Amino acid sequence: MKLLTMKFGGTSVGSPKAISQVADIVEDDLEAGNRVIVVVSAMSGVTDSLIDAARKAAAGNKWGYLSTSETLRERHADVLKQLVPEGDDHDRTLAQVNALVDDFVNLCNAINILGELTPRILDSIVAFGERLSSRVIAAVMRARGIQARQYDAGQFVITDDRYQAANLQWEETVSNVQSRLLPALEEGIVPVLTGFIGQTRDGVITTLGRGGSDYSGAIFAAASDSDELIIWTDVDGVMTTDPRIDKRARVLPYVSYHEVGELAFYGAKVLHPKTVQPILDKRIPLRVRNTFNPTFEGTLIGPDSAPSATVIKAVTAVRNVGLLTVSGRGMIGVPGIAGRAFLTTAKAGANILMISQASSEQSFCFVVMDDKSRAVKQALEQEFEQEIEQRNIDQIDLLDEVIIITVVGSGMRGTPGIAGKVFTVMGQNNINVIAIAQGASECSISFVVEEAHLERAVIALHELALQTVEMA
């Protein structure tokens, strides 16, 4: 008997048909004698529509959020109508749906009156998506004879009050799961938990950041000491590259925690970047599988670095980034310039994706997302006003229309010549490399090229990934 934590994403619970597929999957595992913890996302599109409705409320558009509320009501009621026979459970769950949607409308009314949307209120708004989906999904499972029980995850997942991207309080969360969730499992209950949602110590709803249900799944898997975490999604697994860029992309049978971390950080949208964090120490295997192709094994993600022949495993590209360069002869040997630059960037609210410095120390550059790049440039110009005036720093440059390409593979560690190969391929394709960085873990190389080269660069490098995968 195994304990499995399964997380189902938005498309996996996006329609009555998909939800019934989810129930099949859970049923099969229970029949095989396993115990299951279920973590669910909101139905596909719901989180976006909730954010949109809240913004409309703040802008005084009452019609906007009322129409969202009707769609929410209908979509969830429709699942019950199609998959839960008439009776007490149907009516009780429908009443819960209606009560939650009423709460949503009330909260929007308040936002409308105040004309202001705070991050704290926005978290309460977006949480309705998972609170609704989990209730109807649990009812669907019960209609099949599964002893499913819905829980709002906030009663287990404790966070700080950094709304919209709350930080987990691990010890309290584990103790909640062990003292209150595990006993329910012992009784044969299948918990159906809201992904994405946490709660502060004071009981205020928080969320873990967009796409955070994967992370929730990992939190529950680790806190319950599950034997396996399965992320059920709408693709077959982790792929060698984006199939929209290169049709030859294929599913990787195995990747390591480190590799998938790099992939998630650098643009492969399969997993939330924090997903491996909770399961890393406990070495809990993670599988990415397709709800709509349930016989396919998917990708296994685990602690071991892959066999050495698979040198480059995958290629990703991050669009919509800007490259900032701080340069000047007066910087040579002056400590603290980089430190101040990164601090200023953090204060401007931007996350640094990649850093590179030439050893001449005459310049260093780093990459942030486009939506913050102008603000960062301005903040840097202010911070270094004096240095610029004294000509110790020439200027702060911002290069738009660039992308980060990342090649990932733990076999790169200690394999000489891989970087050489990668950049030779860029040269052969006439692609100019603007900046390069290699993580100290040596499991990825990232570099910046012009956006116009995206397809050519990815396809050419993917060629290398296909060759090495074949060798394995």
Q: How many helices (H) and strands (E) does the chain have?
A: 15, 16
Q: Which is nearer to ligand ASP, 229 or 422 (CB)?
A: 229
47 binds ligand ASP (CB under 6 A): yes
Handedness of CA 450, 456, 460, 465 (dihedral sign): positive
Residue of 14, 16, 64, 129 interacting with ligand ASP (CB under 6 A) = 129
**Size of residue set near ligand ASP by CB under 6 A:** 12
Residue 366 C-beta: closest distance to ligand ASP, Å: 27
Token pair 């959020």 in the structure block, residue: 65
Residue 194 C-beta: closest distance to ligand ASP, Å: 9
195 binds ligand ASP (CB under 6 A): yes
42 binds ligand ASP (CB under 6 A): yes
Q: Which is nearer to ligand ASP, 15 or 34 (CB)?
A: 15
Interacting stretch for ligand ASP, rule CB under 6 A, among 41-49, 98-106, 391-399, 461-469? 41-49
| Amino acid letter for position 353 | L
Q: Which is nearer to ligand ASP, 51 or 300 (CB)?
A: 51
Q: Which is nearer to ligand ASP, 46 or 324 (CB)?
A: 46
Q: Which is nearer to Mg ion, 301 or 402 (CB)?
A: 301
Token pair 């850093």 in the structure block, residue: 355
Residue 5 C-beta: closest distance to Mg ion, Å: 16
211 binds ligand ASP (CB under 6 A): yes
Exposure on the CB side of residue 430, measured as CA atoms within 13 A: 1
Interacting stretch for ligand ASP, rule CB under 6 A, among 27-35, 209-217, 284-292, 437-445? 209-217
- If 0-12 CB within 10 Å is exposed, 13-18 middle and 19+ buried, where does residue 456 land? middle
CB-CB contact of 232 with 7 (8 Å): yes
Q: Which is nearer to ligand ASP, 290 or 373 (CB)?
A: 290
Interacting stretch for ligand ASP, rule CB under 6 A, among 25-33, 205-213, 231-239, 292-300? 205-213
Binder of residue 413, out of ligand ASP, Mg ion, none (CB less than 5 to 8 A by kind):
none
Residue of 10, 191, 261, 302 interacting with ligand ASP (CB under 6 A) = 10
Q: Which is nearer to Mg ion, 243 or 330 (CB)?
A: 243
Residue 138 C-beta: closest distance to ligand ASP, Å: 17
Alpha-carbon distance of 21 to 142, in angstroms, equals 14
Residue of 11, 176, 213, 468 interacting with ligand ASP (CB under 6 A) = 213
**Length of the chain, in residues:** 472
Instruction: Write out the residues near Mg ion by the rule CB under 5 A.
Output: 9, 211
Binder of residue 195, out of Mg ion, ligand ASP, none (CB less than 5 to 8 A by kind):
ligand ASP
- Tokens standing for residue 283: 């070495």
- If 0-12 CB within 10 Å is exposed, 13-18 middle and 19+ buried, where does residue 145 land? exposed
Binder of residue 191, out of Mg ion, ligand ASP, none (CB less than 5 to 8 A by kind):
none
Interacting stretch for ligand ASP, rule CB under 6 A, among 210-218, 242-250, 282-290, 401-409? 210-218
Binder of residue 406, out of ligand ASP, Mg ion, none (CB less than 5 to 8 A by kind):
none
Q: What DSSP string describes 242-299?
A: -TTT-TT--B-SEEEHHHHHHHHHTT-TTS-TTTHHHHHTTT--EEEEETTSTTS--E
Alpha-carbon distance of 178 to 187, in angstroms, equals 14
Residue 195 C-beta: closest distance to Mg ion, Å: 9
Q: Which is nearer to ligand ASP, 12 or 176 (CB)?
A: 12
Stretch (H or E) spanning 92: helix 88-114
41 binds ligand ASP (CB under 6 A): yes
Residue 130 C-beta: closest distance to Mg ion, Å: 12
Residue 140 CA to its chain's centroid (Å): 27
Residue 117 C-beta: closest distance to ligand ASP, Å: 17
Q: Measure Cα distances from 442 to 262, 357, 385 in Å.
A: 11, 17, 37
Give the E-state strand segments of 90-154 in sequence order. Answer: 148-151
Alpha-carbon distance of 366 to 380, in angstroms, equals 12
Alpha-carbon distance of 239 to 260, in angstroms, equals 10
Burial letters for 157-191: b for 16+ Cβ neighbours within 10 Å, e otherwise?
Answer: bbbeeebeebebbeeebbebbeeebeeebeeebbb
Interacting stretch for ligand ASP, rule CB under 6 A, among 102-110, 207-215, 248-256, 303-311? 207-215
Residue 428 C-beta: closest distance to ligand ASP, Å: 40
Residues that bind ligand ASP (CB under 6 A): 9-10, 41-42, 47, 129, 195-196, 210-213
